[in-house]
Amino acid sequence: METRYHRIVLKLSGEALAGNVGYGIDPDVLTRIASEVRLAKSKGVEIVIIVGGGNIWRGISGSEKGIDRATSDYMGMLATVINALALQDALEKQGVPTRVQSAIEMREVAEPYIRRRAIRHLEKGRVVIFAGGTGNPFFSTDTTAALRAAEIEAEVILMAKRVDGVYDSDPLQNPAARKFKRLTYLDVLNKGLAVMDSTAVSLCMENKIPIIVFDVNKEGNILRAIMGEEIGTFIGGDVGEQG
C-alpha cells in the first residue's frame, strides 16, 4: 500500500523515551520505537527524527531553580545529544543506517548540522537524527522540528506524545477533557492549546506543514500516521486538508 507521506519529521519528546519510569532512557521503549521506524523505513519513507531532552534535563525547569536560563538551555541541548546517540544505536542494531547531526558542534560523536548533507543522507536511505535543538537558547525542540521540517521540505511533522491527541485540557488530570480530531493552526494559537510552542506553530502555518499529534505508546501508530490513517489530532491550514 502506498504511504501518504514520503518525507517526514518525527518529533519525539525526551519523556517518551523514559517510558513509565519518568526519567532516563527505557531500553524497551527505545527498541520498540526503533522497530517502528525500521518498519516505516522499509516502506520507502525518508525519516528525520528530532528528539527532546526532557527525560534528562529541561531548560525551563532548571532556570526556575536558579540556573541561568541560557546555561540551562545549553544543558538541555546536550541532553538531546545523549538521546540521539541512544536512538542511533537502537536503530543501527536493527540494521537501519543512521546519522546524527548536531546543531552544537561535537565532531567526535555527531556530524555538524548541514542542510544539504542531511538531505543527501535521506536520499541515500539513511535515517537522520537532529540533536542539539537549534543551537540557540530560548528555543524549544518543537521550534527545531518546525524549522528543520521547513528546511528539508518535509511533508508533515508527526508529534509523538504520551496522549492520543490534542485535548481542551490535560486528559491525565481531567477525565472529562474533550479531544479534538482536527484543528487549524489558528485554533491552536487562539485557544492556547499545549501542542507545541507558538513559535513552532507559526512556522508550520507559514510553511504549510501539517502536524499530526498521536500516542507513541500505542504500537504501530508511527506507521499508521505515515499511511494516512486518521489517528490522533490533525492540525493544518484547513480542517479538511487531510481528507
Residue 201 pLDDT > 70: yes
Residue 131 pLDDT > 70: yes
215 sits in which H/E element = strand 211-215
> Which tens digits make up the pLDDT trace of 55-65?
998 777 777 77
Q: Residue 33 and residue 91: Cα distance in Å, rounded?
A: 9
CB within 8 Å of 153: residues ≥ 6 apart: 7
Residue 160 pLDDT > 80: yes
Q: Residue 166 and residue 225: Cα distance in Å, rounded?
A: 15
Q: What is the mean pLDDT of the chain?
A: 92
**Are the C-beta atoms of residues 226 and 36 closer than 8 Å to each other?**
no
pLDDT band at 159 (very low <50, low <70, confident <90, very high): very high
Length of the chain: 243
Beta partners for residue 206, in sequence order: none
pLDDT band at 211 (very low <50, low <70, confident <90, very high): very high
Q: In the CATH hierarchy, which fold is given to the domain comprising 7-236?
A: Carbamate kinase (3.40.1160)
Q: Residue 8 and residue 106: Cα distance in Å, rounded?
A: 25
Classified as helix, coil or strand, 165 is coil
Interval 171-181 mean pLDDT = 89
Classified as helix, coil or strand, 123 is helix
Domain boundaries, the chain: 7-236
pLDDT at 112: 97
Chain centroid offset of residue 99 CA: 16
> Which tens digits make up the pLDDT trace of 19-74?
887 789 999 999 999 999 999 999 999 999 999 999 998 777 777 778 999 999 99
85 sits in which H/E element = helix 69-93
Question: pTM for the whole thing?
Answer: 0.92
Interval 99-119 mean pLDDT = 97
Residue 203 pLDDT > 70: yes
pLDDT at 22: 78
Interval 83-111 mean pLDDT = 97
What cell was used for 68?
A: 541561568
